[in-house]
Chains A and B, each alone.
Chain A
């Protein structure tokens, strides 16, 4: 067991460490703790706000137990989605597998340590999205101490079975399917499946909730409860834990928790038996098998076309983003999906109460659409959406050990930095267009206001892209095992959030200071502010272009 713990620590350190071993630089600092603390507070606040509204509504109609069911199912579902993405990398595509196999380790030790890494990664997220709402439920329903103990068991136990289940499925596929010798194909298929499910759910949920009366709403809650009843039959651990968390009987709570522990142990034993039989078969096949298929296509005179340097360079950046499923999903797609999903979810939320929706629509339509406040709110919303575009913040890190390429080609470093952030600026513009399209449609904004918003949001996008590439240059993560290390286990990703928070604070401050100002004058002032900030940042990037590249070797 000692070896398992040591291995787990090594894997975790390897996954989460931001230490550039070649530079001998450790980024441990108090500022990191402060950044994490701020981020935690920010997201925790957001979750409390959203969860409170939902729970408050359910308590009003005495259906609060549905909330527990929803949270537990969310934890279960989230674990499945996360594990689909992480398991293939953690189990099969880490560079250390080749070095681990010859070591005097028993197969179960490696499997256990790998599984621990996946579980710990899950707990980090579930603590935020699962534990906080459950604590809130306990407070609002005045639950006793037993509830909180049970809640801790629930949060610890629920992710285990989905992690084991998905890992086994991945292991089985890896043992037999030739497809999985190509990680990209596997990930792309998994990604598209998950996206299709999420989009389908979002769209069908929003469709379901349109034109509901209060009676229909109540009926729908009963139906939702019925759906939970139906689904939980297939997921016994969730079923038992819902019962354990919502019952008033201590004995029932103990029995249900023990049943969950029992099933989890049985699941774990089965997992270990199957995994020990098939994991290494797939791993060895993946490491040493396969070959290259050859194409006999000749260089076709007609297809050859020289491109301008900028086209070729930006094209390379886009190809890298599009052809790599991890970068595609984490860096490119959020620009399109997040505004659409957010609007669908928010609209569905409003629609769940027709009276409220009508009131909100009336209120929005009665508001003068050319007020400076509306402009600022929309800019704030755009800031929130664009913080999930990770193109610029990973522009250097995504290249990994290729990054040194930028230093020996005959193109100035500054030019290359600009080429690298152009995809971020383009995707930022797409987000702005989608958001403004939706806002314009709902709020009937004048075209001139939309144009002013577009210009200022684009300038903010350029500013954000410039700042983020500077951050990535200062703290590049070039030694990585899998692409996930760049887009998930990368501390730099807190910076887009921080910058968005600062931008939102600037916008809120401007509204506060200039609340009665003419909309165009106010927008102009904000525009000038961001043009100045962009110019200063650009100048800094230009002047320090060589110094900033010092960590790329």
Chain B
């Protein structure tokens, strides 16, 4: 279980020349993600989704609040937590001078996967994600879809317990994104805890058990997709979101 308690992240940005202002990318965010559950983090660009997931992945430190993984926190168990995390971002670049195989092997070494398992794991993942054709090609020469598959493969070699997926399907074609979505569902069924951020509301409705809607750094609604639709008297999450924020004009 991933537990997030009252976390905030404050940044300083330039307002005018030489004039700075503080702002909260995330403000008092609290939720829990249980084992075998996909939690959708939804919101428009700039809502604070990426900052939130970066804090959960240990990339950024929250200004205030607590994050724990089955009771463990970063302060006391940083390496143990990271050993069990898979962090994937749509923007994550990988070492493109390496081949896919070299990258996966390096990740096995980093995550301490033993020889028998790593060999088996690379073969399995290669097959599942259909990467046989470019396993030995340099990552720099791969297409966007292939690169994102490599990115996903990199997250899987150590059989993580927690997935933190930040807009993992952005920019991918329908086939590549479906492969990733199917994979996420399979992992959920194996009891993994998955945080899935997206701004594609339909995608979230399709795969998420529960949804957390964020706007301007604050949670505006949580619940199952059905609960949210019922509470907002709408038929889909897109309309529900607009209802909650008071329409596009209110957002502007």
- Chain A contacts to B: CB under 8 angstroms: 24, 182, 184, 292-299, 301, 304-309, 311-313, 315-316, 319-320, 323-324, 399-402, 404-405, 407-412, 546, 553
- Select from chain A the residue with minimum beta-carbon distance to B61: A546
Contact across chains for A316 and B115 when beta carbons are under 8 A apart:
no
Task: Decide if B54 is an interface residue (CB 8 Å cutoff).
Answer: yes
A312 partner, pick from B78, B109, B136, beta carbons under 8 A: B109
21 contacts between A and B (CB under 8 A): A24-B12, A292-B141, A293-B141, A295-B133, A296-B132, A299-B101, A299-B119, A301-B119, A304-B105, A306-B108, A309-B109, A312-B110, A316-B98, A316-B102, A400-B93, A404-B92, A405-B95, A407-B59, A408-B59, A408-B87, A409-B82
By the criterion of a CB under 8 Å from any partner CB, how many residues of chain B are at the interface? 53
Contacts of B111 in A (CB 8 A): 409-410
Instruction: Report the minimum CB–CB distance from A448 to chain B (whole Å).
Output: 41
Closest chain A residue to B85, Cβ basis: A408
| Interface residue ranges, B against A (CB under 8 Å) | 12-14, 54, 57-61, 78-83, 85, 87, 91-95, 97-98, 101-102, 105-115, 118-119, 122-123, 126, 132-137, 140-143, 146
Q: Is the CB of B141 within 8 A of A410?
A: no
Taken together as a complex, chains A and B put the C-alpha atoms of A321 and B229 apart, in Å, by 53
Query: Separation in Å of the B98 CB from the closest CB of chain A?
Result: 6
Residues of chain B with a CB closer than 8 A to A184's CB: 140
A113: min CB distance to chain B, Å = 26
Q: Please, which residue of chain A has its CB at the minimum distance from the CB of B103? A: A316
Q: Are B82 and A553 neighbours in the complex by a CB distance under 8 Å?
A: no
Q: Is the CB of A401 within 8 A of B134?
A: no
B59, B82, B119: the one within 8 Å of A410 (CB): B82
Apart from A299-B101, A401-B93: 6 A-B pairs, beta carbons within 8 A: A292-B141, A294-B133, A323-B97, A401-B91, A401-B92, A407-B58
Complexed CA–CA distance, A62 and B93 (Å): 61
A126 CA to B98 CA, complexed, in Å:
37
Contact: A296 with B133, CB < 8 Å?
Answer: yes
Q: Is the CB of A553 within 8 A of B54?
A: yes
Q: Which of A315, A401, A408 contacts B57 (CB 8 A)?
A: A408
Min Cβ gap A320→B in Å is: 5
* B88 to A, closest residue via Cβ: A408
* Chain B residues whose CB sits within 8 angstroms of the CB of A399 once the complex forms: 95
In the assembled complex, the Cα of A65 lies from the Cα of B137 at a distance in Å of 56
Are B79 and A411 closer than 8 Å at their CB atoms?
yes
A304 touches B137 (CB 8 A): no
A294 touches B92 (CB 8 A): no
In the complex with contacts A299-B101, A316-B106, A553-B54, A293-B137 CB distance below 8 A: yes
Bound complex: CA of A312 vs CA of B101, how far in Å? Answer: 13
Q: Which residues of A contact B110 (CB under 8 A)?
A: 309, 312-313, 409-411
Q: Which of B105, B109, B136 contacts A297 (CB 8 A)?
A: B136
Which of A298, A313, A405 has the most chain B CB atoms closer than 10 A to its own CB?
Answer: A405
Contact B137 A292 (CB under 8 A): yes
CA distance A410 to B106 in the complex (A): 13
Check A402–B79 contact: CB distance below 8 A: no
A402-B191 Cα distance, complex, nearest whole Å: 30
Contacts of A409 in B (CB 8 A): 82, 107, 110-111
- Which listed residue (B80, B81, B91, B118) contacts A306, Cβ 8 A? B118
Contact A294 B95 (CB under 8 A): no
Q: Please pick, from A292, A313, A324, the residue contacting B146 in the complex, using a CB distance under 8 A.
A: A292
Q: A294-B133, A404-B92 are in contact. Are A308 and B109 (CB under 8 A)?
A: yes
A315 → chain B closest CB, angstroms: 8
> In the complex the two chains form, what is the Cα distance from A422 to B102 in whole Å?
20
Contacts of B94 in A (CB 8 A): 402, 405
Instruction: List A contacts of B87 (CB < 8 A).
Output: 408
A401 to B59, CA, bound (A): 13
In the complex, the chain B residue whose C-beta lies closest to that of A303 is B101
Alpha-carbon separation in the docked complex, A323 to B97 (Å): 6
In the complex, residue of chain A having the shortest beta-carbon distance to the beta carbon of B164: A408
Q: Is the beta-carbon distance between A306 and B109 smaller than 8 angstroms?
A: yes
Let me know if B58 and A306 touch, CB within 8 A. Answer: no
B105 / chain A contacts, CB cutoff of 8 Å: 304, 307, 312
Which of B78, B122, B142 sits near A292, CB closer than 8 Å?
Answer: B142
A320 pairs with B82, CB closer than 8 A? no
Q: Which A residues are in CB contact (< 8 Å) with B142?
A: 292
Q: In the complex, are the beta carbons of B109 and A412 less than 8 A apart?
A: no
Contact with B93, one of A294, A301, A324, A402 (Cβ below 8 angstroms):
A402
Instruction: Please determine whether A402 and B95 come into contact, CB atoms closer than 8 angstroms.
Output: yes
- Contact partners of A301 in chain B: CB under 8 A: 119
Q: Look across to chain A and name the residue whose beta carbon is closest to the beta carbon of B87.
A: A408
- Nearest-neighbour CB distance to chain A for B91, whole angstroms, equals 7
- With A292-B146, A319-B97, A409-B110 as contacts: A299 and B122 at CB distance below 8 Å: yes
A323 to B60, CA, bound (A): 31
Q: Residue of A at shortest CB range from B114?
A: A306
Which residues of B sit under 8 angstroms from A305, Cβ to Cβ?
A: 115
Q: Is the CB of A404 within 8 A of B14?
A: no
CB pair A410 B143 closer than 8 Å: no
B91→A324 contact, CB < 8 A: no
B84 to chain A minimum Cβ distance, whole angstroms, is: 8
Closest residue of chain A to B17, judged by CB? A26
Write out the residue numbers on chain A whose beta carbons fall within 8 Å of the beta carbon of B140: 184
Roughly how many angstroms separate A311 CA and B105 CA in the complex, as a whole number? 12
Q: Across the interface, do A410 and B93 meet the contact criterion of CB distance under 8 Å?
A: no
CB distance from A188 to the nearest CB of B (A): 12
A549, closest chain B residue (CB): B59
Q: Which residues of A contact B95 (CB under 8 A)?
A: 316, 320, 399, 402, 405
Q: Is the CB of B109 within 8 A of A408?
A: no
Provide the bound-state CA to CA distance between A413 and B65, in Å: 23
CA A410 to CA B72, docked complex, whole Å = 14
| Chain A residues closer than 8 Å to B80, beta-carbon distance | 410
Shortest beta-carbon distance from A183 to chain B in Å? 9
B97: nearest chain-A partner, CB-CB:
A323
* Chain B residue contacts of A293, Cβ below 8 A: 137, 141
Distance in Å: Cβ of B152 to nearest Cβ of chain A: 15
> Which residue of chain B lies nearest to A184 when distances are taken between CB atoms in the complex?
B140
Measured CA separation A316–B110 after assembly (Å): 11
In contact, B93 and A304 (Cβ under 8 angstroms): no
Distance from A542 Cβ to chain B, minimum over Cβ atoms (Å): 15
Q: Which residues of A contact B122 (CB under 8 A)?
A: 299, 304
Q: Are A299 and B115 in contact (CB under 8 A)?
A: no
B113: chain A residues at CB < 8 Å are 306
A92, B122: Cα distance in complex, Å: 36
Q: Which residues does chain A contribute within 8 Å of B83, judged by CB atoms?
A: 410
Distance from A342 Cβ to chain B, minimum over Cβ atoms (Å)? 30
Query: What residues of chain B lie closer than 8 Å to A320, measured between beta carbons?
Result: 95, 97-98
Please state if A412 and B79 are interface contacts (CB–CB under 8 Å): yes
**Closest residue on chain B to residue A399 by CB atoms:** B95
| Shortest Cβ distance from A305 into B: residue | B115
Chain A residues closer than 8 Å to B132, beta-carbon distance: 296, 298
